[in-house]
Amino acid sequence: MGFVLQRLGHALFVIFGAVTLVFLILYWLPGDPALLVAGDGASPQTIADIRAQLGTTRPLWEQYGVYLWHLAHGDLGISFTTNEPVLSKILAQLPPSLALTLSTSLFAICVGTALGLLAAVHEGKTLDRLIQTVTLAITAMPVFWVGMLLILLFSVRLRWLPALGNGSFKQLVLPTLALGFNAAGQLQRMVRGSVIEVLHEPFLATLRGAGLRERAILWRHVLRNALIPIVTFLGVIMGQLLAGVVVIETLFARQGLGRLIVDGLSNKDIPVLQGVVLFAALFYVLFNLLIDLSYGWIDRRTQL
């Protein structure tokens, strides 16, 4: 229990640090949001009033203090550009991003693990090399390029799947593939590596000697070991996916956190950007906390 508390404390500290770090960088973001908020014919006085209202002219420490004070009260602030509460803005955009992240993880886990196992079992043979070559190439392609090619093939040429939007399962397919190929390729390599390692372990020979069937060994002992890279991978991929969605959401005209980020950056909408970073860090840290805790559980299961 102490371990859990310690990790929880660490997680809180990291989230707090992330928010502070990003606040500092955003403070240097160039531009004057007041000019955007003010009308086209606004007088200098109006612009000055808006600046004061937004609080963007206050010194750094004061802005930071105000931000923390509001944060401590669960208030993420109001968007500069649309005057909506940041929290509701984020909550509205979260589900599509989450759906894409989850579907991509699922795809990556299924395909990546299968290919990894397949390659490991056929280590050094043609199939292994084929899988290795394909994954090597696909992970070396920018995801937006993969996305573009998918649109051309599946939307324009074959007309099987929609190219844009979100809401339905069909609309999730192409973005998932665009991100998922890359993720599956990465996982494939990790699974393959660790399975090969286990396959070479002496204890397997003992098991074989004890008369266990090859298939049983593979499923009961080898695959379990593959759990570790999968779980580790999940922690890694979450951070990556949150970033990947920025690009993929733009390409597929999907709703989501990525659009909020791009919009926030172009309008210097600091409260929105802070909010997204807070959510991303929270998500990432808590997820990795879960992963850390799950290692213990897997560890027990993999012990013989």
Partner 1 sequence: MLTRRDFATLITGAAFVAGAPTARADTTGSTTGSTLTVAFDGASVPSFVLDPHNCRFAPQARVLRSIFDNLVVLREDQSVGPWLATAWEISPDRTQYTFTLRQDVTFHDGTPLNAAAVQANFDRILNPANALQSLSQIGPYTGATVLSPFQVRLEFSAPFEPFLHNLSTTGLAIASPAAVQKYGKAFGQNPVGTGPFKFTSLTPGTQIRLAKNLAYQWAPAGAAHPGPALLDQLIFADVPEQLTRVSALQSGQVQVADLIPAQNIAAFKADPGFTFQQKEMLDTTYALMPNVAKAPWNDLQIRQALKLSLDIDLIVRVIYFGTIQRAWSPLSHQLFGSAEQALTDSWKPDPAQARAILDAKGWVPGADGIRVKNGQRLSLSFIDTQGNREQRLDVIELVRRQLNASGIDLVIDSQPPGNYLKKLADNDYDLAAGAQYAADPDVLRSFFVPDARSQMEALNENDPVLTQLLVAGAAEGDSAKRANLYVQAQKRIIDQVYLIPIYVLRYNLAAAVNVQGIALDAHGFPNYHGAALGSG
Partner 2 sequence: MSDTSLPRTRALVAKTTTTPPFALLGSLLPIRQLHRLPLVLPLAGLVVLLLVACAIAPDLIAPYAPTDFDYNAILNPPGLHHLFGTDAYGRDVASLVVYGARSSILMAAGAILLGMTAGGAMGLVAGYAGGWLDQLLMRLVDIWISVPPMLLALIIAAALQGGYGATIIAVTSMIVPRFARVIRAQVIAVKARPFILAARTLGASPSWILLRHVLPHTLPQLLVLSTLGMAEAVLIGASLSFIGLGVVTDRPDWGFLLSQGRDYLTVAWWYATFPGLAITSLAVSVNLLGDALRQRLDGRANRE
Site for partner 1 in 258-287 (CB under 8 A): 259-260, 262-263, 265-268
**285-304 residues near partner 1, rule: CB under 8 A:** none
How far is the CA of 21 from the CAs of 13, 45, 260, 274, in angstroms?
Answer: 12, 33, 19, 10
Query: Rounded to an integer, what is the distance from CA 250 to the centroid of its chain?
Result: 15
| Residue found under tokens 């005057």 | 83
**Ranges within 158-187 binding partner 2 (CB under 8 A):** 186-187
Comparing CB distances to partner 2, the nearer of 166 and 267 is 267
CB closer to partner 1 out of 79 and 225: 79
Is residue 52 near partner 1 by the rule CB under 8 A? Answer: no
Minimum CB–partner distance for residue 83 and partner 1 (Å)? 4
Mark residues 87-126: x for contact with partner 2 by CB under 8 A, - for none. Answer: ------------------------------------xx--
Confirm or reject binding of residue 89 to partner 1 (CB under 8 A): yes
* CA–CA gap between residue 77 and residue 87 (Å, rounded): 8
109 contacts 187 by C-beta, under 8 angstroms: yes
- Residue bearing tokens 């979100």: 166
Q: Distance (Å, rounded) from C-alpha 240 to C-alpha 245?
A: 9
Sign of CA dihedral 62, 68, 73, 76: positive
Positions in the binding site for partner 1 (CB under 8 A): 30-33, 35-43, 45-46, 49-50, 79, 81-84, 89, 92-93, 148, 151-152, 155-157, 159, 162-168, 170-171, 250-255, 259-260, 262-263, 265-268
